[in-house]
Chains A and B, each alone.
Chain A
């Protein structure tokens, strides 16, 4: 049981390049989330999914796209990277959203955009 895994762990991009971050969970969770963590800002929700085939916008969705083609995977895409997207990205998953469910976080992806 690996929990939540993220690929890659580190990445450096040039402005305008594209990339996809992969999140995988083996806990059969319905809900998955992408957050970004910036110094002094805490975590902010980018996009989330309430089940396979569904996605929705979070607090800071601009410049990102997501897909949930398989229940266990949640992909975060940057079509044209910008320096403002330099951040640490965390994926999380939870079984349900009853207001008390625990979110399980991956180890993070550190992205630098030059």
Chain B
């Protein structure tokens, strides 16, 4: 079945450092790809998404480009802040069994800590 593999954390950076969190996927078709963020004590929030190859999703200074040739969707930010400390999940839309509906398949999450 479809799957998502993201780099294991934790990742610890200093404020204003460059961030990359790697994400690769396997899929039979052409999935939509997502990054979700989970701040401490909260539920997941959609950070950005891309629905087809070469699309770039962006939000709050974060970017990710859908690369079909390398089956990747790496998350990047040029200058992280303390407030970016959270768990980041890569995900793809997968087809649910027995029907035409879909579910999200999540990676295991990467904990990012940004120190002042």
A residues adjacent to B (C-beta < 8 A): 4, 31, 33, 40-45, 48, 50, 56, 58-59, 90, 92, 97, 99-100, 102-103, 105-108
Contact = CB atoms under 8 A, between A and B. Distances in A.
B102 interface: yes
Contact of A99 (B44, B89, B102): B102
A24 B43 CA distance: 14
Contacts, number: 58
The range of chain B's interface size is 20 to 34
Chain B at the A interface: SS class: loop
B104 A103 contact: yes
Given A41-B108, A43-B89, A100-B32, A50 B101 contact: yes
Given A33-B103, A56-B98, A59-B103, 15 more contacts: A40-B108, A43-B106, A48-B101, A50-B101, A58-B96, A90-B44, A99-B32, A100-B49, A100-B51, A100-B93, A102-B49, A103-B44, A105-B43, A107-B41, A108-B43
